[in-house]
Structure 1
Amino acid sequence: MRIEIDKDLCCGAGTCVLIAPEVFDQNDEDGTVILLDATPGAEQQAAVREAAEQCPTAVIRITRRPGADQRSGNSPR
């Protein structure tokens, strides 16, 4: 997972920080999102997805990390 944000669209609601504080923070001056970890570990991925879904201005974009393996444990190699 790789995260990108569009700070220009951020309204400073802070929902992302409440849901995934290890990944997101807020700027003290204007409240806009600060990305702390663009490639969070597996333990944070569910929270990041929820933060992206709950963001009122949809500033969080989640993409697949380059080189990530898409195969599941049951898929033939």
Structure 2
Amino acid sequence: MRVNVNAERCIGAGQCVLIAPEVFDQSDKGTVTVLAETPGDSARAVVWQAVRSCPSRSISLADG
């Protein structure tokens, strides 16, 4: 699983950071940044929750 983000689309709601702080953070501008582009299988459920919770749909996942 590979985490992809579109920081330009991000509105800075921060839901991803609250749900998965080991994977996501916010930049000085308040937009999403990725701390772990390829989180382990143990983080899969929480990362999917963060993807579904993103109001701007700025986060996506890819195989690999």
TM-score range, shorter chain: over 0.9
TM-score, normalised relative to structure 1: 0.80
Query: Post-superposition shift, 1:44?
Result: 0.9
Normalised TM-score (structure 2): 0.96
The 5 Å alignment of 1:1-77 reads 1-27=1-27, 29-65=28-64
CA distance in 2: counterparts of 1:30 and 1:56, whole angstroms: 17
Q: Could you tell me how far 1:42 is from its partner in structure 2?
A: 1.1
Shift in Å at residue 45 of structure 1?
Answer: 1.0
The whole-number CA distance in structure 2 between the counterparts of 1:21 and 1:43 is 14
Identity %: 47
Large movers: runs of 4+ above 6 Å: none
Residue 14 of structure 1 deviates from its aligned partner by 0.3
Query: How many residue pairs are counted as aligned between the two chains?
Result: 64
1:30 to partner: Cα distance: 1.6
Question: How far did residue 3 of structure 1 move?
Answer: 0.8
Aligned counterparts of 1:60 and 1:9: Cα–Cα separation in 2: 9
Deviation at 1:50, TM superposition (A): 0.4
From the CA coordinates, give the structure whose radius of gyration is larger. Answer: 1
Gaps of 5+ in 1: 66-77
Q: State the secondary structure of the residue aligned to 1:7.
A: coil
